[in-house]
Amino acid sequence: MEKILRYYYIVGVLLILLVGCNGKATGKSEKDNMVEEQNIPAFNADSAYSYVAQQVAFGYRVPGTEAHRKTAEWLANELARHGADVIKQEAVVEAYDGTKLPMCNIIGQFAPEKNNRILLAAHWDSRPWADHDSNPDNHRQPIAGANDGASGVGVLLEIARHIGAQQPTMGVDIIFFDAEDYGAPAWEAGDNSDSWALGSQYWAKHIHKPGYRARYGILLDMVGASGLCFYREYFSHHYAPHIIDKVWDCAERIGYASLFVDAFGGAITDDHIYMNSAGIPSIDIIQMSPDTDAGFFPQWHTVDDNMQHIDAYTLGAVGQTVLTVIYEEK
Ligand code: AHN
Ligand code: ZN
């Protein structure tokens, strides 16, 4: 009897050891499992936060200013440092009031020889007017654009760092569009919807590479506030419902269902309109708020759009979701 008990005991210990070594009792090594499940890098939210802060530290990135020129140079250098082939697409574009703006779209191409590509984008300029500020005295002051501008670029720079360190299967292009936020101020009358997104409008008419194609595009705009959600934006759903599904499903799978809400938000004029007009099915990941009259974060187009209202958790949620989508794409 004692012998039989001891026998069961030994078999039991062996089983525990076997299971313990493999995580799952599949007989496969841990390495096999990693290869099967893919090695998706861990997005570093603090690094993204720092990239946001560095942009804001340049000052107001308003077209035509010294801060704008310096930021453009820094962004191009950062993309190149992470291994991208960089194109600076420079032109003069005309604002709603006839002002001539020196515009620079910054395009980072990773593995440009690959035919299967994903396009990621964000606008890097900041708005010259805080025309939505509660204090009218501030309406002609520029905004720091920590969330409106720098947040999307910060997330994409952190993604660029990962792509540089570990190539995904897909080729990736990152475009930082200029002059998105020079749209006609609130005190201008009339329909000014085409006064926004001047950089992406220019790019759509002068694509950086003949015959350029991407499987799809993802635009990030205002992705750094705390406590707000991402809704399925109207035009994104119209042009690229399958990409909305892909991104929202991914977010849910990795634990961000509470941020990426399974509901529709408003229709937003943004750079993705022109990414779509260039023939690339594109979506806009943008925080919306049912609680403010503009529908965006409370500091939108105010002098308070600064680092105090940037939440690394939100940057991390968006960054890890987009990074996962990219590395899972084959
Ligand atoms: C309009 O207000 C028409 N579009 C919002 C686009 C935008 C402004 N994104 C950031 N700032
Ligand atoms: Zn804006």
Residue nearest to atom 8 of ligand 1 (CA): 181
Measured between alpha carbons, how far is 286 from 265 in angstroms, rounded to an integer? Answer: 10
DSSP helix, strand, coil percent of the chain (3-state; round to 5) = 40, 15, 40
Tell whether ligand 1 has an atom less than 6 A from the beta carbon of residue 221: yes
Closest CA to 108 of 158, 174, 207: 174
- What mean pLDDT do residues 78-93 have? 98
How far is Cα 163 from Cα 188, in angstroms, rounded to an integer? 42
* 106 pLDDT more than 80: yes
Distances (CA, A) of 138 to 55, 116, 176: 22, 46, 27
- Give the side-chain half-sphere CA count within 13 A for 147: 26
Cα of 148 from ligand 2 centre, angstroms: 5
Q: What is the pLDDT of residue 157?
A: 99
Number of structural domains in the chain: 1
Query: How far does residue 23's CA lie from ligand 1's centre (Å)?
Result: 48
Query: How much is the average pLDDT of 285-307?
Result: 96
- Residue 16 predicted with pLDDT over 70: no
Point out which residues pair with 107 in neighbouring strands.
87, 175
The pLDDT value given to residue 37: 59
Write the pLDDT tens digit of every residue in 128-187.
999 999 999 999 999 999 999 999 999 999 999 999 999 999 999 999 999 999 999 999
- 148 CA closest ligand 1 atom index: 10
Pocket test for ligand 1, best of 178, 221, 287, 288 (most atoms within 8 A of CB): 221
- Ligand 2: distance of its center to the CA of 294 in Å? 11
Residue 269 CA, closest ligand 1 atom number: 4
Q: Is 268 in the pocket of ligand 1 (CB under 6 A)?
A: yes
Q: Is residue 57 classed as helix, strand or coil in its secondary structure?
A: helix
What is the arithmetic mean of pLDDT over 244-251?
A: 98
Kindly state the tokens that stand for 205.
């008419």
Q: By residue range, what is the domain housing residue 179?
A: 5-328
The pLDDT value recorded for residue 31 is 45
Spacing, Cα 124 to ligand 1 middle (Å): 13
The arithmetic mean of pLDDT across residues 268-296, rounded, is: 97
Integer-rounded Cα Rg, in Å, for the chain is: 23
CB of 202 within 6 A of ligand 1: the answer is no
For residue 75, the 8-state DSSP code is: H
Per DSSP (E only), the strands in 165-324 are 171-177, 216-221, 229-232, 260-264, 282-288
As a whole number of Å, the end-to-end CA separation of the chain is: 58
DSSP 3-state assignment of 208?
coil
306 pLDDT above the threshold of 90: yes
Q: Which atom of ligand 1 is nearest to the CA of 301?
A: 11
pLDDT of residue 253: 98
| pLDDT recorded at residue 77 | 98
In one-letter notation, the amino acid at residue 35 is: V
Read off the CATH number of the domain in which 234 is found.
3.40.630.10
Residue whose CB lies within 8 A of the most ligand 1 atoms, among 126, 176, 180, 196, for a mutation test: 196
| Percent residues over pLDDT 70 in the chain | 88
Q: Is pLDDT at 22 greater than 60 in this prediction?
A: no
Q: Is any ligand 1 atom within 6 A of the Cβ of residue 270?
A: yes
For residue 33, pLDDT beyond 90: no
Mean pLDDT taken over the chain: 92
Token pair, residue 185, equals 């101020």
Nearest-CA residue for ligand 1 atom 3 is 269
The answer, yes or no, to whether any atom of ligand 1 lies below 6 A from the CB of 181, is yes
Looking at the DSSP assignment, which residues form a beta bridge with residue 93?
Answer: 101
Per-residue pLDDT at 7 exceeds 90: no
The atom of ligand 1 lying closest to the CA of 270 is 6
Q: How far, in Å, from the CA of 199 to the mean position of ligand 1?
A: 13
- What's the distance, CA 174 to chain centroid? 9
Percent of the chain with pLDDT over 90: 88
The Cα 78–Cα 59 span in angstroms is: 18
Tell me the two tokens of residue 60: 């107001």
User: Comparing 26-35, 152-161, 258-267, 301-310, which segment has the lowest mean pLDDT?
Assistant: 26-35
Residue 21 has pLDDT above 90, yes or no: no
What pLDDT, on the 0 to 100 scale, is given for residue 321? 98
